[in-house]
Amino acid sequence: MPKVDRLSSEITIRDWLLFALTISSGAVDAISFLALGKVFTAFMTGNIAFLGLAIAQDPSAPSILAVLASMAGFAVGIYFATRILIPSLPSATDREDEAPCLVWPWRTTYALGVSLLPHLCFVLIWIATDAKPSANATLVLLAVWALAMGMQSAAVRRLNVGGVFTTAATATFIFLVGDLAHGSLTSEERRRLVGVLVSLAIGATAGALLLIHAPIYAPLLSFVVTLAVVATTMTAFARHDHHHAKTTGP
């Protein structure tokens, strides 16, 4: 396949994978907000606002411990994912391995793969508590799911796709509406931003419906979607070009 066509194909695949991850985070936030004490595990802007309400002792504010558990988990997720994504001492092999994967670096897949562990941990605890966690279990669930979302956020940020973060839509909304004023975006970029916003709504809707009609299975959606994304990237962005270049030479 010509290089230009291959790049276009990989960008299309990447965008659909970003939509999938956004659906996952939309479901995560819907479930965590509705079932875990009105606290988000992906949308930290909301949690910071909730923290202020809790400090002000507003009676409608969520538990300050719950908010802090989510924020702490998210921060730890970003930290560990960043350590995976950007080694402190990158070797020549690291730099070579990144070269043929500009659209989707292999370390992004690695970080998302590791994020499956806290996703799975959440699912197991959720099932063990019969979808009715105690107050202490709720704190653990918030921290664990926020850990997964923090890792996903850092991994997607590594892709450097303008206006796309998958766990928050504010920047996406700004990019999209701002384009109405100056029209600097391409049609492809507009479709991508609209797709992210639509995906977030789809994810939140799906998460809420599952929580209402099949609560025990609700968190499986995000786990399965993330697993599918990781599996897809391992095939779609395989480093065959790199290995081919090493064996054939210049």
Least confident of 150-159, 204-213, 233-242: 233-242
DSSP 8-state symbol, 8:
H
Q: pLDDT tens for residues 12-36?
A: 999 999 999 999 999 999 999 999 9
The number of CA neighbours under 13 Å toward the Cβ of 134 is 3
Tell me whether residue 248 is in a domain.
no
Which of the four pLDDT bands, split at 50, 70 and 90, describes residue 88? low
Q: Domain for residue 249, yes or no?
A: no
CB atoms within 10 A of CB 45: 11
| More confidently predicted of 240 and 177 | 177
Instruction: Give the DSSP per-residue string, 83-119.
Output: HHHS-SS--HHHHHHHGGGSSS-HHHHHHHHHHHHHH
Residues 6+ apart with CB under 8 A from 83: none
For residues 32-52, average pLDDT: 97
Q: Which domain holds residue 106?
A: 3-238
Cα separation of 30 and 20, whole Å?
16
* The predicted structure's pLDDT at residue 239: 60
Q: Give the whole-angstrom CA distance, residue 19 versus residue 200.
A: 8
Q: Does residue 243 belong to any structural domain of this protein? A: no
Question: Which residue's entry shows tokens 């936030």?
Answer: 29
Q: Could you give the number of structural domains in the chain? A: 1
- Statement: residue 106 has pLDDT above 50: yes
What CATH number is attached to the domain comprising 107? 1.20.1250
Model's pTM, two decimal places? 0.90
**Does residue 250 belong to any structural domain of this protein?**
no
Taking only the tens place, the pLDDT of each residue in 125-164 is: 999 999 999 999 999 999 999 999 999 999 999 999 999 9
Residue 246 domain flag: no
Q: What is the pLDDT of residue 102?
A: 80
Give residue 131's region: left, alpha or beta (phi > 0; psi -120 to 50).
Answer: left
